[in-house]
Structure 1
């Protein structure tokens, strides 16, 4: 894989998908359907998926592609592949809360090594460069020209006063019980893969996820966090979260700055 080309293509496709998504987001109304797993899907999910898939297949025809909105891609088995969630945070999109993202990632040998997370309604863009390090690009954004880049790095947290970020739409008692094991200075809620990016920039220290996610939900944010010095581990035994699992389903996990002293689940 040519990482330089990959970074350019993923960034461009994320911006193009963001434009499509925002056009629908800003319209008076849009269609919402329910998928077989009871999760919602909109015309924005489908339009962004078609655009990103076509672009990735054209540029990287020999690389396996897995995408949330194409069930036919979910039966493939590989350890190295591209993986896409064209609109992560569909519930945030439907409720016009802005915390939704475009996620595109490259997984190598079971680990997300390159990725882009673009939050078009928040005007925030995070991606890994060719060397694997992560940056935030400051808008306004141009598709064919990278703007001002800001190097990002995880925090050096104070374990007596941690900054926690948790899901906005999927918060539950089990999550709160685990968070209560820590000395928390502040807690914020965020939707979609933005939670990984808040840890990558040092705006938060830890994100525990005690709930269902799929690999396309997490891979891009995982790559960005990894490139900023962060880690993502399984909730149960704190071993690294790997990708290419059966059905692309994740176990519960914790994303964090490595200096956080992790607590064991009950």
Structure 2
């Protein structure tokens, strides 16, 4: 893989998809359909998926593409693949709460080694560069001109109180019981893969997730967190969360900054 090309292409596609999403988000009421798994889908999901899929297949025709909105891709298998959630946080989008993202990741041998997370309503753009270092770009997000980029890194956790971020739409008793094992100085809610990015930028320390997620929900944020010095582990054995699992479904997991002393569930 040409990582310089990957960075350029995925950044452009994320921005294009974000523009398409925001046109619908800022427009009149839109239809919300229900997929077979009871999750919502809108024209914004479909428009973003069309942009990203076409762009990735044109740029990297020999790399398998897994995307949430194309069920036939979920049967693909391999040790190298691109994985996409064109609109993560559809519930946040539907309720116009802003916490939704465009996610694109590149996975090799079970590890998401590159990724991009774009939150168009928040005007926040996070990605791994060609060297694998994570950064946040600020500015006008022009397609052909990179804005101001700053390397990001996880914070050193304060043992007297961790800053915890949890799901806005999928909080449950298992998650709350796990959070209760820690001294917590701040507890905030956020939607979509932004939770990984808040740890990557040093704005939070811990994100436990006991609800159902799919690999396209997490791979890009996981890559950004890895590139900022953090990690994501399984809930059951605290071993690294890997990708390419049957059906692309995740077990429960914990995302954390380096230095957090993890408690067993």
Q: Distance in 1 between matches of 2:10 and 2:217?
A: 16
Q: Distance in 1 between matches of 2:74 and 2:28?
A: 33
Helix, strand or coil for the counterpart of 1:239? coil
Q: Distance in 1 between matches of 2:109 and 2:133?
A: 18
Equivalent residue, structure 1, for 2:73? 73
Q: Distance in 2 between matches of 1:220 and 1:98?
A: 18
Q: Distance in 2 between matches of 1:165 and 1:204?
A: 6
* TM-score, normalised by the number of residues in structure 2: 0.99
Residues 1-266 of structure 1 mapped to structure 2, 5 A cutoff:
1-265=1-265
Is the CA contact 1:79–1:243 (under 8 Å) kept in the aligned structure 2? no
Q: Distance in 2 between matches of 1:14 and 1:169?
A: 23
Q: Distance in 2 between matches of 1:79 and 1:60?
A: 15
Uncovered stretches (5+) of structure 2, i.e. residues with no partner? none
Aligned residues: 265
Q: Which runs of 4+ in 1 moved over 2 A?
A: none
Helix, strand or coil for the counterpart of 1:196? helix
Uncovered stretches (5+) of structure 1, i.e. residues with no partner? none
Q: Distance in 2 between matches of 1:139 and 1:21?
A: 19
Is the CA contact 1:103–1:115 (under 8 Å) kept in the aligned structure 2? yes
Q: Distance in 1 between matches of 2:9 and 2:20?
A: 17
The alignment's C-alpha RMSD in Å is: 0.5
Shift of 1:79: 1.9
* TM-score, normalised by the number of residues in structure 1: 0.99
Shift of 1:139: 2.0
Helix, strand or coil for the counterpart of 2:137? strand
Q: Distance in 1 between matches of 2:237 and 2:173?
A: 20
Helix, strand or coil for the counterpart of 2:4? helix
Q: Distance in 1 between matches of 2:40 and 2:185?
A: 34
